[in-house]
């Protein structure tokens, strides 16, 4: 699982509370909203509505965030009930506000008011139909799908019952072909019963989207990116085509190494890679098989985990160290309450959610992280990532509530990851953890390890929503769900189902984000943008070396440029935010190619004589 920030974004507030919004109020025709709708709306009324809605939303967000924080850090039936109650209240409010906002669709208002109205309406993840019974049906389906995923278990032949976490741990560490296959099939088979519910959910959500004026739910999702929905889809393809040669080189090398390990009968050198051999249940990131594909002599000569121990870093000092990265850029230190209210270690006396996340409870200065920090090098980078979210949250705190988020949903994760890209050997030396920066001959191992996570993820990050968009549009019919899923897996990733699958299976739903209705394109965007941000910041910091060796630590100029973009929040189109930092409004995947250029040269050398492609 990736670290995250706890979003105040209305779309995710709704998603957390079942993801379903009615397109019209559930009340009867004599409701106030319907009475108001009968009268012509005015621009002044629109501005007044936005002001009132902002005030009400700000108060509710604090209430919901506090309830969620307690539910995450003191897990009891009572705290879960309080969180559910707060989120239900939030959902009902957003339902009402979205319908009231629709009154002003045809009214000419100033650009800022229009953008805030649109942000409110586009917060919908699934739009329920006007029919009250169908709204209730959709809410019930969403709840059932979430529960089915959460309860998924696999029972082995000896009666041992395994959770997803336990199966994933086996997938990560096992090098036994059949054992990995058993885990893969065991988990993917749990998704099959979800298919009838998912089919009906698509029908209902599409009906609601059409009532809002969108062709289907996929078009609704794509409309959130400050550009035409089809143009946005084309932009994603453009970015993918830029990075595809790098991915194909990595794929070719990894397949060859897996074939050496398991035999060409199990991993043919001219076919897709069986999806269960890449160390991850969904073959979305491959870092767990680094030991099988690592270059010779790739040891960088240091171990951050050991260095932290040698230098006396405990959990708090790790966080203080990461804060020092930001203050070196000119950002103000974190507030005192951050240190007294955050969860840094796993408490001994209660259950908590350990998944790393960054929180902003009051849109002012109540910033926190929630982690169960382990004293490892990986966790040190994660802390930098999480604080990236916190400093972003504080930067846009003065924006109106509907703009208190990143420029698009890919930016927040991209910022966290951009900061983590600066946790380089150079940075470790600057803060006194490392005595000497290894020479560039050691870079290939570090780049390979990163590529197995970052580059390997790109096609998966793209194809999940490619599949959903085709499902929502009707291009893929229910009787083609699984076939289309594996066609896209093969097309984009070059991976295949390790055993025969049929339409009785529903393998897409084995990935949490599908039954949970969480849009996935944001993760693809984040992986593109983080390298573009990093390259731009390295230029501003006047670091002329290879960008994979660059750290912006200590550059006030880079910090000023970064903060200028962060302060914008979602107040302007994401293209404007991107231009403010990089000098151009277009995404550009060439930064990834620059970053991994030494690795690409290495892979090309290794792949000579190999039959690449699938």
341-386 residue pLDDT tens: 999 998 988 888 888 889 999 988 999 999 999 999 889 988 998 9
* Per-residue pLDDT, 132: 83
Asked if the model's pLDDT at residue 309 lies above 50, the reply is yes
Through-space distance between the first and last CA atoms of the chain, rounded to whole angstroms: 28
Asked if the model's pLDDT at residue 8 lies above 70, the reply is no
520 labelled catalytic: no
- The mean pLDDT of 573-579, rounded to a whole number, is 97
* Per-residue pLDDT, 416: 87
pLDDT bin (cut points 50, 70, 90) of residue 331 is very high
* Per-residue pLDDT, 4: 57
Name which of 108-117, 139-148, 505-514, 530-539 the model is least confident about: 139-148
Sole residue written with tokens 């390979």: 448
384 labelled catalytic: no
The single residue of 355, 440, 586, 601 carrying the catalytic annotation is 355
pLDDT bin (cut points 50, 70, 90) of residue 20 is very low
Average pLDDT of the chain is 90
355 labelled catalytic: yes
The single residue of 392, 492, 520, 523 carrying the catalytic annotation is 523
The single residue of 253, 389, 527, 534 carrying the catalytic annotation is 389
Strand order across the beta sheet in which 367-370 lies: 4-5, 357-360, 367-370
* Per-residue pLDDT, 139: 82
pLDDT bin (cut points 50, 70, 90) of residue 102 is confident
413 labelled catalytic: yes
pLDDT bin (cut points 50, 70, 90) of residue 26 is very low
Task: Give, for 126, the enclosing helix (H) or strand (E).
Answer: strand 126-128
The single residue of 33, 74, 513, 567 carrying the catalytic annotation is 513
Interval 259-298: pLDDT, tens: 999 999 999 999 999 999 999 999 999 999 999 999 987 7
pLDDT bin (cut points 50, 70, 90) of residue 101 is confident
- The mean pLDDT of 419-434, rounded to a whole number, is 93
356 labelled catalytic: yes
- The mean pLDDT of 505-513, rounded to a whole number, is 95
Asked if the model's pLDDT at residue 32 lies above 60, the reply is no
Q: Helices marked H in 105-191 — which ranges?
A: 111-121, 132-150, 164-173, 177-188
pTM for this prediction: 0.89
Asked if the model's pLDDT at residue 23 lies above 60, the reply is no
Query: Residue-wise over 386-424: b if at least 16 C-beta within 10 A, else e?
Result: bbbbbbbbbbbeebbbbbbbbbbbbbbbbbbbbbbbbbb
The single residue of 386, 451, 508, 561 carrying the catalytic annotation is 386
Cβ-Cβ contacts under 8 Å for 488 (sequence gap 6 or more): 463, 466, 467
Q: Helices marked H in 368-410 — which ranges?
A: 377-395
412 labelled catalytic: no
The single residue of 385, 412, 527, 534 carrying the catalytic annotation is 385
The single residue of 413, 492, 508, 602 carrying the catalytic annotation is 413
Which parts of 324-473 are beta strand (E)?
357-360, 367-370
Which parts of 472-516 are beta strand (E)?
495-496
386 labelled catalytic: yes
pLDDT bin (cut points 50, 70, 90) of residue 5 is low
Give the distance, in angstroms, between the CA of residue 513 and the centroid of all CA atoms in the same chain: 10
The single residue of 356, 381, 420, 510 carrying the catalytic annotation is 356
> What values do phi and psi take at 379, rounded to 5?
-65, -35
225 labelled catalytic: no
> What values do phi and psi take at 331, rounded to 5?
-75, 145
């Amino acid at each position: 699982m990736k670290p995250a920030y706890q979003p105040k974004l209305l779309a995710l507030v709704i998603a957390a509370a079942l993801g379903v919004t009615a397109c019209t109020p559930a009340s009867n025709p004599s409701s106030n909203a319907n009475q108001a709708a009968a009268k012509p709306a005015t621009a002044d009324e629109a501005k007044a509505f936005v002001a009132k809605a902002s005030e009400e939303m700000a108060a509710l967000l604090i209430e919901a965030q506090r309830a969620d924080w307690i539910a995450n850090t003191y897990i009891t039936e009572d705290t879960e009930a309080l969180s559910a109650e707060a989120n239900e209240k939030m959902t009902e409010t957003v339902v009402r506000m979205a319908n009231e906002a629709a009154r002003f669709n045809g009214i000419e208002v100033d650009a800022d008011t229009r953008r805030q109205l649109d942000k409110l309406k586009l917060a919908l993840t699934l739009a329920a139909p006007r029919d009250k019974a169908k709204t209730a049906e959709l809410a019930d389906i969403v709840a059932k799908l979430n529960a089915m995923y959460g309860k998924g278990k696999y029972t082995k032949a000896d009666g041992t019952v395994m959770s997803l976490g336990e199966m994933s741990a086996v997938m990560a560490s096992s090098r036994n072909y059949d054992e990995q296959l058993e885990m893969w099939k065991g988990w993917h088979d749990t998704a099959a019963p979800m298919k009838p519910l998912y089919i009906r959910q698509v029908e209902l959500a599409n009906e609601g989207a059409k009532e809002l004026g969108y062709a289907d739910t996929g078009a609704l999702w794509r409309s959130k990116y400050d550009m035409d929905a089809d143009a946005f889809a084309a932009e994603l393809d453009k970015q993918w085509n830029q990075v595809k040669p790098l991915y194909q080189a990595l794929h070719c090398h990894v397949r060859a190494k897996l074939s050496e390990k398991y035999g060409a009968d199990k991993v043919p050198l001219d076919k897709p890679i069986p999806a269960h051999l890449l160390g991850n249940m969904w073959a979305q990131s491959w870092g767990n098989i680094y030991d099988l594909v690592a270059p010779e002599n790739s040891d960088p000569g240091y171990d951050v985990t050991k260095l932290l121990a040698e230098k006396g870093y405990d959990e708090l000092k790790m966080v203080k160290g990461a804060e020092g990265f930001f203050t070196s850029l000119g950002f103000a230190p974190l507030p005192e309450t951050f240190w007294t209210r955050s969860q840094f270690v796993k408490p001994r006396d209660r259950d908590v959610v350990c998944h790393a996340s960054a929180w902003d409870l009051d849109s002012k200065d109540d910033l926190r992280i929630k982690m169960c920090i382990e004293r490892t090098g990986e966790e040190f980078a994660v802390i930098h990532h999480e604080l990236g979210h916190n400093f972003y949250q504080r930067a846009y705190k003065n924006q109106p509530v509907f703009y208190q988020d990143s420029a698009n949903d890919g930016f927040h994760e991209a910022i966290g990851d951009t900061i983590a890209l600066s946790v380089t050997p150079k940075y470790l030396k600057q803060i006194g953890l490392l005595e000497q920066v290894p020479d560039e001959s050691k870079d290939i191992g570090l780049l390979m390890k990163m590529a197995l996570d970052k580059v390997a993820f790109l096609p998966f990050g793209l194809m999940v929503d490619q599949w959903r968009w085709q499902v929502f549009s009707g291009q893929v019919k229910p009787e083609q769900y699984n076939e289309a899923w594996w066609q896209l897996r093969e097309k984009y990733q070059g991976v295949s189902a390790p055993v025969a699958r049929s339409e009785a299976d529903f393998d897409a739903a084995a990935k949490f984000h599908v039954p949970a209705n969480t849009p996935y394109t944001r993760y693809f965007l984040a992986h593109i943008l983080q390298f573009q941000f990093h390259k731009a910041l390295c230029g501003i910091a006047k670091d002329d070396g290879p960008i994979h060796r660059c750290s912006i630590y200590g550059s006030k100029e880079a910090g000023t440029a970064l903060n200028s973009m962060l302060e914008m929040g979602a107040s302007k189109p994401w293209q404007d935010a991107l231009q403010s930092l990089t000098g151009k409004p277009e995404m550009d995947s060439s930064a990834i190619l620059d970053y991994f250029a030494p690795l690409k040269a290495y892979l090309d050398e290794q792949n000579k004589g190999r039959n690449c492609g699938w």
